Structure 1
Amino acid sequence: MAKKTKKKKKFSRNLFRLLLIIVAYFGWYYTRTLEGMLITLGVFILSFLMIKIWWKMRRVLQLRKAGIKQIDEMTGEEFEEYLGMLFKKRGFKVRYTKTSGDYGADLILEDRENTIAVQAKRYSGTVGVKAVQEVIGALKMYDATEAWVVTNSYFTKQAQKLAESNDVYLIDRDELIEIILDSK
């Protein structure tokens, strides 16, 4: 997954560079001045940034409006991003961990007193013991005071029992819906 993301970013950067060269060429071709070329590049970059900001804001608004049905259709990364926005709304400082090699936590939440390691599981089936074990491992890695597992589904009895004996807070579908409704 990480290799695909790196290749995609590299491709995007190279495509942007190629576009800059093409725009600079057209600026030079039509004005035959360095000033005309620079103005054309400036207008292009400004337009590009405005479109990028608009696209990002559009995405943020879509995530804010999302309900449980939209969450069920999200990818794991989108679910993590959604949870981050949800917890920011509730006053937490949110840090995202790496996609792979995250030591069992997808989000790190911080408030004045606590650091919370959060394992996000967007599943169609029930969430088992493995998710609880992963977030327990993340406690020491991130110097967290609490561990949470959040899902759009429900937990198995074994996961609930392990979480209870290790003070891991479980947020299942019903509680997630309550949090979403409280945030709107």
Structure 2
Amino acid sequence: MAYYWKCKKHNEVMKEKLDESGTKIIPYCSHCECKKEYEEALVDTSKRFKYKSILPKHKTLNVRIGYQLSIVLCMVLLFNILIAVIIEKEISAIIGCSFAIFLLLSISIHDMFFSKLAKQKVLDKLLPTLEQIKEINIEKFRMYQREVNEYKERLKRQFMYNNIDFKEIDSLDGFKFEEYIAKLLENLGFSKTYVTKKSGDFGADIIAIDKNDTRVAVQCKRYGTQNSVGNDAIQQIYSAMGYFDCQKAMVITTSYFSKPALQMAQKLGVELWNRNTLTEKIASITKESWNEYLSKYYVYPHNPIPLSNDKFNYVKYESVER
């Protein structure tokens, strides 16, 4: 059963996205988000240019056409003046030159007083409708949901490591069991753990740092209860302790230890966790449901009111007017 939220204002199931840190899930109403974006574009015209490539292209402004025609006419007049000078028609040259200067001044005045008007017309044409903003944001909202789904999968794996029972432990392969033990040690107070590579580990599956900054070499044995762990495991981890510059050694198993293994471990100072010890360690971690665990990673809307439905747990809340 997953957590869902419902926007009271628009009567829709809210979508989800991650916050800026990527560690919290935020429910949001897509209608509210689009309306907020539209209102921001109304007030802040600089935010409209991001829609330029998406909206239908506007026609060239008449003001700009007039500006370009003025430049062309001015060039033509200057050419005529040059011809008049060449053929020594002084009066024509003076009249043409005066008219050219007049045109140049007109162009300057036009650019000074009408450029802002032209820019405003462009901005007005770049303002999308609310429906266009909704259409533009469809892919963005899908991307948000993909990110949330991937994050929930990671949280689910973390939850399983924290709350797994022995039936599931017994079904893990050797490497998954090592990962689980590494995570368990962290939850029990070890400051850092890392799993060694699958081959060439010299007998140590995990190197852990406890709360006293002591390096601990750990060997994991996921055996069935009918198979006991022998003294060869004790010898291996004791040797690995020196190789990895560790001060302590441990062997953790889902089974039990043989009598020779117990005797050797006592003599060498190797700590042993059998199935019973492992059960006690797991039980010492507070158990919680998946929903309770997931709820810690949500930023909740205001004033949640639980509702019931055949498929989901909905929550209705009073949305804040924007």
What's the TM-score once normalised by structure 1's chain length? 0.71
What does the per-residue CA deviation read over 1:113-149, in whole Å, with 9 as the maximum and x for residues that have no partner?
4111000110011111221111011111111111000
Could you say which residue in structure 1 is the equivalent of 2:205? Answer: 106
For residue 75 of structure 1, what is the amino acid of its counterpart? D
1:63 to 154, 157, 161: 161
Cα distance, 1:53 vs. partner? 2.7
Q: How does 1:1-184 map to 2 (within 5 A)?
A: 49-92=147-190, 93-111=192-210, 112-124=212-224, 125-184=227-286
Number of matched pairs? 148
- Residues 41, 116 of structure 1: alpha-carbon distance in 2 compared, 3 angstrom cutoff: farther
Distance in 1 between residues matched to 2:259 and 2:216, nearest whole Å: 23
For residue 96 of structure 1, what is the amino acid of its counterpart? V
For residue 204 of structure 2, what is the amino acid of its counterpart? A
Distance in 2 between residues matched to 1:160 and 1:59, nearest whole Å: 34
- Residues 62, 166 of structure 1: alpha-carbon distance in 2 compared, 3 angstrom cutoff: same
**Percentage identity across paired residues of the two chains:** 34
What's the TM-score once normalised by structure 2's chain length? 0.42
Cα distance, 1:51 vs. partner? 3.7
RMSD: 2.2
- Residues 45, 169 of structure 1: alpha-carbon distance in 2 compared, 3 angstrom cutoff: same
Cα distance, 1:57 vs. partner? 1.6
User: Which structure has the higher relative contact order (CA within 8 Å, separation 6+)?
Assistant: 2
Structure 2, gaps ≥5 residues long:
1-52, 55-136, 287-322
More helix by share: 1
Distance in 2 between residues matched to 1:45 and 1:132, nearest whole Å: 51
Contact 2:217/2:241 (8 A) holds in 1: yes
Structure 1, gaps ≥5 residues long:
1-34
